[in-house]
């Protein structure tokens, strides 16, 4: 079955620790698809091929602070790399509704592998996937800001909530 992300219902968020307070950013408007195979009980078939491809525009990222957002766009080089993209190439079942995915994420033109757990719920014609993972921003060539006593930790904790509707082959 093929599912298409509903951009206005799907979102990305990230948090980094700083010497002052946690900094949170988020973006809605995730685009992409999921191809998943289910067994007769409506559960993910572990033997079937599964894949997904997603992206969102870096311009949609917001921390709620214009000055911080300008610096964030500069550091991620949003002009040259206007999107953040990730793909899931394989999925394994952990338990009912819990899976582990392996794939790649591309930020600032650098692609890195990842492996993360996620939750998945299935309703007729709809799929909701939620997951979290931590990345080191330096792996993507992003230098954490430091200015006198103010600094940002390099670890970025990210999360996604993808709401996707089933589509027919003709709509894909």
**What does the pLDDT look like over 103-161, one tens digit per residue?**
999 999 999 999 999 999 888 889 999 999 999 999 999 988 887 777 889 999 999 99
CATH topology for the 2-171 domain: Lipocalin (2.40.128)
Burial class (CB within 10 angstroms; exposed 0-12, middle 13-18, buried 19+) of 146: exposed
Burial class (CB within 10 angstroms; exposed 0-12, middle 13-18, buried 19+) of 128: middle
Per-domain residue ranges for the chain?
2-171
pLDDT over 90 percentage in the chain = 66
- pLDDT higher than 60, residue 50: yes
CB 88 within 8 A of CB 104: no
* pTM greater than 0.75 (yes/no): yes
Q: Which residues pair with 31 in a beta bridge?
A: 55
Q: Which residues pair with 149 in a beta bridge?
A: none
CB 152 within 8 A of CB 68: no
């Amino acid at each position: 079955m093929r599912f298409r992300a509903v951009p206005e219902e799907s979102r990305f968020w990230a948090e980094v620790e700083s010497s002052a307070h946690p900094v949170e950013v988020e973006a809605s408007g995730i685009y992409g698809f999921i191809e998943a195979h289910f067994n007769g009980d409506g559960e993910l078939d572990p033997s079937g091929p599964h894949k997904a491809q997603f992206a969102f525009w870096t311009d949609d990222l917001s921390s709620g602070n214009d000055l911080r957002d300008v610096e964030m766009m500069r550091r991620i080089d949003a002009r040259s790399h206007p999107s953040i993209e990730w793909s899931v190439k394989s999925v394994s079942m952990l338990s009912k509704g819990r899976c582990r995915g392996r794939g790649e994420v591309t930020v600032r033109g650098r692609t890195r592998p990842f492996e993360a757990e996620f939750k998945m719920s299935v309703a007729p014609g709809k799929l909701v996937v939620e997951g979290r993972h931590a990345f080191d921003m330096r792996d993507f060539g992003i230098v954490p800001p430091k200015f006198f006593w103010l600094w940002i930790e390099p670890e970025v904790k990210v999360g996604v909530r993808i709401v996707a509707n089933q589509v027919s082959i003709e709509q894909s």
